[in-house]
Each structure stands twice: as structure tokens, then as C-alpha cells.
A and B are shown apart, each in its own frame.
Chain A
Amino acid sequence: MTQNITLDKAKKGSALIVISLPSGETKAQLIRLGITEGDVVKCIERLPGGTVIVQKNRQEIAIGVELAKKIKISLK
């Protein structure tokens, strides 16, 4: 286990553990889509500028850089 970083720093292809989500409405929306703290997700793409696409099972979700900066993760 390495140190915690934020999602916008994740490398393409890496498996990640979600450590914390920003609270409030965004968190509720992420939970609905299937992403909760403690989940293992895969970063399948990291676009220039920092937009990140994560995958959990067959679900792919694109996350803008401003939101990605607020999601703490650790590498698996």
C-alpha cells in the first residue's frame, strides 16, 4: 500500500481503492452510480488536463478534473 493521492493523479490502467469522496450531492450521485468509499475501481483512461475515466465492473464513469481532485484514493 502506497500513500494516498487524489484521483486526478491516477495512472491509466491502475487499480485504485477509493479512500474518500467529497461529501454532499456529488457523493450521493457517485454512490448511486456504484462508487463508494472502500471500493476498488480501475482507472481506464486519464485525459490530458486531468479528466479521468474510471471503471467498476462494466460501468464506466467520466470524472472532471475538479471533482477528481477531491477524491482521495490509494493505489492497489
Chain B
Amino acid sequence: MKTDNLIVDRQNKINSIDLSSLLVKTEKVVLVGNPNVGKSCFFNHLSGMYVDVSNFPGTTVSITKSHYKGREIYDTPGVYGVGSFNEEEKVARDIILSADRILNVVNSLHLERDLFLTMQLIEMGKKISVLLNFSDEVKKRKIKIDVQKLSGLLGVEVIETAAINNLGFDKLDYAIENARTGHQQLDISFMIEEAVEKTNSRAEALLVLEGDEEIARINNIPAGTANEREKLYISRRNKVNEIVDQVEYEDSKKGEFFNKLGRLSLNPLTGIPILLFMLVLVYFFIGDFVSQTLTNYTENTLGKGVFEYYVKSFVADLTPVEINVEVPDAAQNITTQKDFSFPEGMNKLPTLKKEFEIVSRQPEAITTFHFQNPIVKLFFGEFGVVTMTTTYLIFLLLPLVTAFYLVMAFLEDSGYLPRLATMLDRTFNKLGLNGKAVIPIMLGFGCVTMANITTRILGTNREKTIVTAILQFVIPCSAQLAVITILLTGAGLAPLLIYVSVIFSVLVALSTILNKMLPGESSPLLIDLPVMQFPRAKNILKKTYYRTIGFMKEAGFWFFVGALAVGIMQITGLLTVWQDILAPLTTAWLKLPREAANAFVMGIVRRDFGAAGLFDMKLTINQITVAIITITLFVPCIASFVIMLKERGWKEGLSIWFGTWIVAFLVGGIVAQILI
């Protein structure tokens, strides 16, 4: 199956619609719906591929395309209506305009809200079928929806589904086949009559009248005024309310507990304790269980004890090596210490090899291999590309990153994030933002690159700029957090507190300065609060799985490249040159060892890799504090840099990128001068 991800270029696409419909007979089926109604679940089912599913707006920010039974199928960002109020809407609008058939996914619990979009699609003259999703929830809450009547009133097929349980998936083919234009309202038809004659289609005519400047420009006619849009909107709203009155019967109160929890998490009085409680839970899960108990086992026992030992033993069979084995007792005293020397590899000296195996395979034994050949050293030595990188990636970062993704997925699916946004709205107002900014920032703790794209949900350009800067400067992504967690483990509370307060102060200073500098005003909060729920295990696990795989694929490659680069630089002596260049900064200003310069080479490629470079250095607690502050503030990874340039343009992107250099060394240095 051919699948690809494309961020649609608006101008190109609009020009190519006519061409593609002439040349290719493949029909476009587009999934359309409000945010958070389960479009992606249907897309996953139809395409057999995976796209992220979340309980908050803004998950699907680009168009995803796949093929299904001879048709092209598209997933779109969730929108409350077809329009051009923000980037997501424009992306969705273009694909809707070019759609041959539309599957309109509707949240049965929010008919009044969702049918607004449905009515608009019908007025646009699009062939649609309605999928009434969450029909299981509706039954649970004792709400009755007269599907037949709704279908009659709209004039299109209406099918009950519950995507989460695969309910109604068998009727999707029927829904696609029978998509048709519904009953159009007479008054709206009358209003747009004139415009239809001047544009390509009824759909474009409606959008022009609703004030869409881009579509108006393409058709060379003036866009409708705000007044005209309002008239259309109110007429549509009344029609929707009328329909809902006829088809929906309420109601008994259900889901009380989560409703209540949702309410409580809104008010700072109760919401802050709830937030703190969750952070404590997260701390015990990640900071305690995963980063200590679990990774201690995976890194030392599995990684070093099993994986590295056997790989290195195998290499040692064939090449010159000196091996040191130490066996500590329970009190960490070394009871046995033995050195082995194999000038031509272990295989040449079978008896000594036997003895080595007996000594080194005692459960507590620590074995260190010293390979003689520089190339072998590069790949299998203490910092070897194959050995060390694999241990870092698979046995250290993987469990931690998985844990972070798991927590993020849980938060996303519970419907908590929009409530957190609401609670923090006033606080964010002081930073020139509204509460919605919490969503990309929180997502940044998962992956800054993804979060960068999510800034699209923000209302104005200045908000996008401020949040992008915050993400690139101060928010550590899960991989980096993992490394920081490890460095902080065992260092006590003080470095953590210093770290958090310094990073937080930079965040406040940064957004305050940008808020003062940037012209204009930020938009006030207006956010839809999704139903609060206990997330479905299946969805969370699936999401964590796919994100972790994605992370390993991307990070794995760069880790190996980075390790190889450092290894080669080490052999050729380039590393010393770089260390000399940065020495005044690293040793005098940041008061770190010269080798810390290595971390800054790698940090340009990947933030976590930069921080991982610090593992091997013997750092004091204060040096750790300085190092993690500097590395956190230092440049974002290559991937997020590229996405930032795409989203925010060259000028802004580069300013932020160079800004991180300055701020990282400035703030890190100040902390160093005070502490050390």
C-alpha cells in the first residue's frame, strides 16, 4: 500500500484540482469532522496505517493520504466549520473543496455543535455520509437519537458507529458508496445564487460569501462581509438547533465522576492540588520506578552485563585485547581482581579463555575490555559506536522515552489538557498568551518537533512566535528529559530545584520580553472542553508504541552518526581542536571539563545526544546542574529546527536558533559563576 504524508501547498493544489480530475479517475474520499470526534480511528481502519488519535484538538495538523479499494482516502485536521480562521482550517478547506465524497464524522454527544459543519458541507453541495460516532456513549448516557429521522431531515445516509470498538466499520463501504448531496436550505440557496454563477462551484460560492478572501481572490470576485457571514451562520445555526430538537431525546446524568473531576480541575483552588497530585504520580512513576529501578536493571544487567559482554567477548575472540575483571562483594569491596592478556585474540589461548569465562561470568563480575586496534576500539571500545550507542539507546533511553510517551498519551486522552489550559489562562495572559498555549508546551515535553506544528492551533502570529521560542529555548523533549533525569538521579534535591527555577525564570523572562517587543495583541481564550474520561488502554498503548518506534527510528540513526563522528574526530585529533576552540567557554566560563565541548557538537544534531555526552564525564553535582541548564537552553535538534523554519519562516527561525546559543551560554555561565 502506498501511503504518504503531505502538507498541502494551497496555491498549487487549487490549480491542480481540475487537472487531476481530468487525468486521474481516482475518487477522493475525505474524512471530515470537528476536533476530537474519531476521524483518525476511521482513517486507521480504512488505510491500515496508523495516525495519532488524541482527546484534544490539533492532533492531525497535516493531511494524511492513503488508498482504499481503488479510492484515495484523506484524513483532515478537525474543524468546527469550513473556513479560513486558522492554518488548520485552510488545510482542511482545500482538501474538502477537492473531495469527491465526504465521510462526515459526528460526535453523537455534541450534535448541536457537530451538525453545524454537516449542514455547511450539505450547503456546499458536497456528496456526504454522516457517521454518528460514540453511539455507545450515547446509549450509556441514556440519550436517544432518531437516526432515521435525522437521515430524512439531512437527506443523506446516517450511520451509527463506535470507532473505538470497531462498531459500524462494516457499513463504511456502504457509507462511501451512498454518499450524496443532502437537502439544501432554500434561504441559503437563494443567498448564494448570484455567487454560484461567478465561481467554480456551489462550494466555493458559499465560502466566498462567508468571507473567505483566498477563494474570492482565485475567483476574482469580492469576498462577503462579516455581516453576510453572520446571516448565513445564524440561519445555519437555527436550522441545526431545529433538527437536533426533533431527533434527540434526553437524558439522565451519567459519567458523574469524571464530570466532577473535570470541573474540579478547572478552578485553581482544586485544580492546582490535582495538578500537583498528578505530577507526584508522574515523579514516582518516571523519576523513581523507571529511571532508577527499571533502567538500572536494563542498563547494567541487560545492557552492560549481557549485551556488551557477549558482543565484546565475541570481538575479543579474534583481536588483540587486554581484559580486567573485578568481582565486588555485597559491600562493594573488590574481592577478586584479575587481568587477562590476549595479544592475538582469545581463540589463540583456549585455556586462558576458559579461565576468563569462569571468572567473568560470576553474577557480580564487572568486566572491562581494552582493545588494541583503533578501528575495533571505535566500534566496540568503551565508547564504541556499536556497544555504547546500543546500550544508551535500547537499554537506557528506550524505557525512559516509552515512559514519557505513556504519560503524555494518558494526559492527552483524558481530556485534561484543555482544562489545564483553562485553569492557567490568567497566568498565561501575563506572558502575552492565552491558556491554549499550554497544549503545545505540554506536548513539547514529549517531542518539541511535534509541538512546533501544534502551535498552529494558536490564534495570532505573535502567540505562535512566543510559544515557538519557548519550545525551542526552554522545553526539554522526552529524550532529553530522560537523560536529564538520569544525570539528576542521586544528585539530590538541590540541583533539581535550581534547574527547574532557572529554566522557569528564563521562560518567564523570554515570553515577557517577546510580549513587550511584538506588536499587536494576543487573542482571548475560547476553547471547547472535551468530555473528561478515563483513557482507553488500547489507544494509549498503541499511541505510545507508534511514537516510541518513530523515536527509535529517527534517534537511532542520529545516535550512530553522532557516535561515529565523535569517534572519528577523536582518532583524527579534530576533537582536541574543537575542544581548544571552545575551551574558554567550557572551562573558564561554564567551569566544566574540556570534554564538555563534545556535548555541544552533538547537541546541534540532537538535544538528547548532547546531554548523553555528559554521562561519561566525572562531574560534580554543581557541574551537572550547570551542564543540564546549558544543554536544555542550547539549540533544538535538527528535526525541530527544520520544522520551525517551515512553520515560522527563515528570519524568525534563525533568530531563535542563534538566540539559543547566546542564552544557553549566558545563563549557564552565570549559574556556573555563582555555584562553582
Binding site for B on A (CB under 8 A): 23-34, 36, 44-45, 47-51, 53, 56-68
Tell me whether B266 and A32 are in contact (CB under 8 A).
no
Task: Mark contacts of B63-100 with chain A using CB atoms, 8 A cut-off: 1 yes-contact digit, 0 otherwise.
Answer: 00000000000000000110101000000000000000
Task: Mark contacts of B17-44 with chain A using CB atoms, 8 A cut-off: 1 yes-contact digit, 0 otherwise.
Answer: 0000000000000000000000000000
B645, chain A: closest CB distance, angstroms: 28
Q: A61-B528, A65-B426 are in contact. Are A27 and B230 (CB under 8 A)?
A: yes
A12, chain B: closest CB distance, angstroms: 9
- Which of B116, B525, B531 is most buried by chain A, counting CB atoms within 10 A of its CB? B525
Tell me whether A28 and B83 are in contact (CB under 8 A).
yes
Residue from A32, A49, A63, A66 within 8 A of B113 (CB atoms): A32
Residues of B within 8 A of A64 (CB): 425, 429, 434-435, 524-526
Q: A47-B267, A51-B425 are in contact. Are A58 and B230 (CB under 8 A)?
A: no
Tell me whether B418 and A36 are in contact (CB under 8 A).
no
* A15→B502 CA distance, assembly (Å): 45
* A56→B528 CA distance, assembly (Å): 11
Residues of B within 8 A of A29 (CB): 80, 85, 526
| CB of B186 closer than 8 Å to a CB of A | no
Residue of A nearest to B210 (CB): A28
Residues of B within 8 A of A67 (CB): 524-526
Residues of B within 8 A of A61 (CB): 526-529
* A49→B262 CA distance, assembly (Å): 19
Residues of B within 8 A of A24 (CB): 226
Residues of A within 8 A of B429 (CB): 49, 64-66
Interface size class of B (residues with CB under 8 A): 35 or more
Tell me whether B425 and A32 are in contact (CB under 8 A).
no
- The A interface is mostly helix, strand or loop, or mixed, namely mixed
B415-433: which residues lie under 8 A (CB-CB) from chain A? 418, 421-423, 425-426, 429
B249, chain A: closest CB distance, angstroms: 13
Tell me whether B234 and A62 are in contact (CB under 8 A).
no
A32, chain B: closest CB distance, angstroms: 4
Q: A53-B529, A59-B112, A62-B529 are in contact. Are A28 and B229 (CB under 8 A)?
A: yes
Residue from B229, B268, B418 within 8 A of A48 (CB atoms): B268
B461, chain A: closest CB distance, angstroms: 14
| CB of B356 closer than 8 Å to a CB of A | no
* A66→B269 CA distance, assembly (Å): 22
* A62→B268 CA distance, assembly (Å): 14
Tell me whether B85 and A36 are in contact (CB under 8 A).
no
- Which of A26, A27, A59, A61 is most buried by chain B, counting CB atoms within 10 A of its CB? A59
Q: A45-B267, A50-B426 are in contact. Are A63 and B526 (CB under 8 A)?
A: yes
| CB of B456 closer than 8 Å to a CB of A | no
Residues of B within 8 A of A44 (CB): 263
Residue from A32, A36, A45 within 8 A of B263 (CB atoms): A45
| CB of B648 closer than 8 Å to a CB of A | no
B114, chain A: closest CB distance, angstroms: 9
* A30→B83 CA distance, assembly (Å): 14
B272, chain A: closest CB distance, angstroms: 11
| CB of B159 closer than 8 Å to a CB of A | no
Tell me whether B525 and A62 are in contact (CB under 8 A).
yes
Residues of A within 8 A of B434 (CB): 64
Residues of A within 8 A of B226 (CB): 23-24
* A32→B226 CA distance, assembly (Å): 15
Tell me whether B112 and A49 are in contact (CB under 8 A).
no
Residues of B within 8 A of A47 (CB): 266-268, 422-423, 425-426
Residues of A within 8 A of B234 (CB): 31, 36
Provide a sorted-by-A list of 23 A–B residue pairs whose CB atoms are within 8 angstroms.
A27-B230, A28-B233, A29-B526, A30-B526, A31-B230, A32-B81, A32-B116, A32-B233, A34-B113, A36-B237, A44-B263, A47-B266, A47-B422, A48-B267, A49-B425, A49-B429, A50-B426, A53-B422, A62-B266, A64-B429, A64-B435, A64-B525, A65-B524
A36, chain B: closest CB distance, angstroms: 5
Excluding A27-B233, A47-B425, A68-B524, 9 further A-B contacts by CB distance (< 8 Å) are: A23-B230, A28-B230, A29-B80, A32-B80, A32-B233, A33-B113, A51-B422, A51-B525, A62-B525
* A27→B211 CA distance, assembly (Å): 13
Residues of B within 8 A of A58 (CB): 109-110, 531
B153, chain A: closest CB distance, angstroms: 18
* A44→B268 CA distance, assembly (Å): 15
Tell me whether B525 and A53 are in contact (CB under 8 A).
no
Residue of B nearest to A12 (CB): B267
Residues of A within 8 A of B526 (CB): 26, 29-30, 61-64, 67
Residues of A within 8 A of B435 (CB): 51, 62, 64
B517, chain A: closest CB distance, angstroms: 20
B501, chain A: closest CB distance, angstroms: 24
Residue from B85, B229, B233, B421 within 8 A of A62 (CB atoms): B421
* A61→B35 CA distance, assembly (Å): 14
Task: Mark contacts of B109-152 with chain A using CB atoms, 8 A cut-off: 1 yes-contact digit, 0 otherwise.
Answer: 11011001100000000000000000000000000000000000
Residue of B nearest to A69 (CB): B524
B299-330: which residues lie under 8 A (CB-CB) from chain A? none
Residues of B within 8 A of A62 (CB): 266, 418, 421-422, 425, 435, 525-527, 529
Residues of A within 8 A of B237 (CB): 31, 34, 36
* A65→B428 CA distance, assembly (Å): 12
* A49→B80 CA distance, assembly (Å): 28
Q: A47-B426, A62-B526, A63-B526 are in contact. Are A57 and B80 (CB under 8 A)?
A: no
10 shortest interchain CB distances as A-B pairs: A64-B525, A49-B426, A64-B524, A67-B524, A66-B524, A62-B422, A32-B80, A60-B529, A31-B233, A34-B112
A6, chain B: closest CB distance, angstroms: 13
- Which of A36, A53, A58, A59 is most buried by chain B, counting CB atoms within 10 A of its CB? A58
